[in-house]
Amino acid sequence: MAELKNDRYLRALLKEPVDRTPIWMMRQAGRYLPEYREVRAQAGDFMSLCKNPELACEVTLQPLRRYPLDAAILFSDILTIPDAMGLGLYFEEGEGPRFERPLKDFMDIAALPVPDPEQELGYVMDAVRTIRKALNGDVPLIGFSGSPWTLATYMVEGGSSKTFTKIKTMAYQEPEALHLLLSKLADAVTLYLNAQIAAGAQSVMIFDTWGGVLSHRDYKEYSLGYMQQIVEGLTREADGRKVPVTLFTKNGGLWLEAIADTGCDAIGLDWTMNIHDARKRVGDKVALQGNMDPAVLHAPPERIQQEVQMILDGYGYGTGHVFNLGHGITPDVDPEHAKVFIDAVHDLSQAYHTPE
């Protein structure tokens, strides 16, 4: 494989020196971009877009054509695994993801297959190969998966939830059923991410969007423990380079030290954390990714620049910071404001690094 032309995202995750702070945005390919909406309409619906490697590649590259981002992220969804397990994923307009056959009990869980990533999820691997080729070494490609706990919430609730009643009832009433589900998902996620790495993903991220709804003890038992198992099973080197792993638990600020102890390379922070305190708490163990509130993108340009400055200042001098939002960019953001944000990180971050 050809050399990477811009590797500051990988270098920052590994705490190697960089000339400025790298940046990418969660959900950088998405509905806030008119060119995305156009391709999505052409595909028909969101899952058809995910299942078409050429179109998935096209929308992955769209934000990189507009902005000087330091990484591309595979265009797909975390719910591809439950879909491949046979639950029947569909998207109800304006209501988010749904499953035709949510999991009800131990019997359903015992019958679940662990999908072969090159078969049932072959379309994802094809997308990774297509995107990697199209990127031509410009920037690294990030692969991703949901965490076992976050996937399980959708599979048991049947879709998005506010209270997580069904899965929590399972946790308190039938914990062995939930553990069986989570251990199958940990196996499936490990295979899936390793297949993405084999197909060309140069870094991987695990999205634990719902870990933060668990009690203090349950987070370790039902979410972190399974993410640790995945981290231990991942391919950590490919093409002669390290493949950094980022864990992102939304509302996970309580558990930073424990997350850093899993052996991951970086922790994703949501905007509720003070990044200065987070850096003090994790020390040299891991890099940090984050953490601007995505809602700041609605503010006027000066306010966006001010917020970027405060976060850069909070993290302080030196490598180990990947700039990002604290969660995905929302569909109502003006693409010009995203540009102000990204340019501000470029311009203001150089002062925090030593020129080579």
Could you list the active site residues? 27, 31, 40, 77, 154
Phi, psi of 262 (to 5 degrees): -75, -15
Tokens representing 180 are 């069986």
Phi, psi of 167 (to 5 degrees): -75, -30
Residue 171 neighbours by CB under 8 Å, 6+ apart: 178, 218, 222
User: To 5 degrees, how large is the angle CA 328–CA 329–CA 331?
Assistant: 120
Give DSSP secondary structure letters for 264-307.
-SEEE--TTS-HHHHHHHHTTS-EEEEEE-GGGGGS-HHHHHHH
3-state helix, strand, coil in the chain (%, to 5): 50, 15, 35
> Toward ligand CP3, which CB reaches closer, 4 or 151?
151
Are 126 and 53 in contact by the 8 Å Cβ rule? The answer is yes
Positions that interact with ligand CP3 (CB under 6 A): 26-31, 40, 46, 73, 75, 77-79, 96-97, 144, 160, 207, 209, 328
> Toward ligand CP3, which CB reaches closer, 97 or 320?
97
Are 125 and 199 in contact by the 8 Å Cβ rule? The answer is yes
> Toward ligand CP3, which CB reaches closer, 78 or 191?
78
> Toward ligand CP3, which CB reaches closer, 53 or 305?
53
User: Amino acid letter at 146?
Assistant: G
How far does the chain reach from its first CA to its final CA, in angstroms? Answer: 26
Phi, psi of 222 (to 5 degrees): -100, -20
Q: Which of 162, 82, 170 is nearest to 120 (CA)?
A: 82
> Toward ligand CP3, which CB reaches closer, 144 or 255?
144
Task: Report d(CA 1, CA 7) in Å as an integer.
Answer: 14
Are 18 and 318 in contact by the 8 Å Cβ rule? The answer is no
Residue nearest to ligand CP3 (CB): 209
> Toward ligand CP3, which CB reaches closer, 327 or 353?
327
